Amino acid sequence: MERAGSRRRRLRSVSTRSESRTSLIRSGARTALKLRDAVAAPLYWWYAQRLEQDVKAHARLPKHLGLILDGNRRFARAGGLERELGHELGVDKAHEVMQWCLELGIPVVTIWVLSTDNTSRDPAEVAHLMKLFEREARNLSVDKRIHANKVRVRAIGQHHAFPGEVTAALGELEEKTRHYDGMLLNIAVGYGGREEIVDAVKRHLTRASEAGQSLSEVAAELHPDHLSAHMYTAGVPDPDFIIRTSGEIRLSGFMLWQSVYSEFYFCDVYWPGFRRVDFLRALRDFQDRKRRFGK
């Protein structure tokens, strides 16, 4: 029979080779994306510069930008890559887009990285995502850009079923940035719009009960502001602009309460392939709209 020590060494060797292969494929995929943009680099650079000038000249930028990061798996499938690499490249793109937001001075950004529905996917995929969240939370907690720009990071959603190491990493990130007054970055993870509304109702009813109010009194006095005060984003302006990638034309539960007057932009490109020109086009489209707020 194989000795336990030999078996552990063999398993570690297999794991190391697998991680090395994944790293090489991820590096190759990144290079392919860079080469894609490099082919049209002169035209791309000129067009991006012109778009950026137009966007900055208009001056009206979203005060709260919502981003639905959709299409990681389909991007990987279209490129013949493993599913997990789609998520890895999606993380890379999120870092890149956050840099664009910082450069433009957008004060609040909410990115949706995992819905409550997503947690019912293949357990192996969910486990990989959880490792990604833990790793990226720890990376962000020491990211020089976060601290130099005083970015306050909050994780919003339901995390009670997350592994302990994930919630610990998210908590540490929030604590390290809690006193910052720069851009607010909300990471919607384990998030669902219906669940958020239910949680808000529960909190309001609990507070009212603690104050000695009866159910009939609460019902008689109930106002939308009462629930707004208990949303995950309480105290933050509602999103005025929401972008969703991958060609899906729906919200899928993203900020259902807060998006009542939001402007929407649906982009066909999958999230890992989302370019700066795509971002700037979306912002210019937002600037060309006349917001009426139902009037």
Residue positions annotated with a catalytic role:
70, 118
Kindly tell me the burial class for residue 182, based on how many C-beta atoms sit within 10 Å of its own C-beta (0-12, 13-18, 19 or more). Answer: middle
Q: Report d(CA 243, CA 71) in Å as an integer.
A: 13
Q: How far apart are CA 23 and CA 35, in angstroms?
A: 18
Binding site annotation covers 75?
yes
**Would the annotation count 116 as a binding residue?**
yes
Six token digits for residue 81: 């890559």
- Using DSSP, how many helices (H) and how many strands (E) does the chain show? 11, 6
77 known ligand binder: no
What stretches of 185-223 show up as alpha helix (H) in DSSP? 193-210, 215-221
Tell whether 69 is in a known binding site: no
Is 291 annotated in a binding site? The answer is no
Go through 101-132 and write b for each residue having 16 or more CB atoms within 10 A of its CB, e for each that does not: bbebebebbbbbbbbbebbeeeeeeeeebbeb
Q: Is 145 annotated as a binding residue?
A: no
Does the annotation flag 10 for ligand binding?
no
117 is in an annotated binding site: yes
Does 276 carry a binding-site annotation? Answer: no
Q: Which secondary structure element, helix H or strand E, spans residue 67, and what is its range?
A: strand 64-68
- Confirm whether residue 235 is marked as ligand binding: no
**Annotated binding-site positions for Mg(2+):** 70, 263
**Annotated binding-site positions:** 70-75, 83, 87, 115-117, 121, 244, 250-252, 263
**Annotated binding-site positions for substrate:** 71-75, 83, 87, 115-117, 121, 244, 250-252
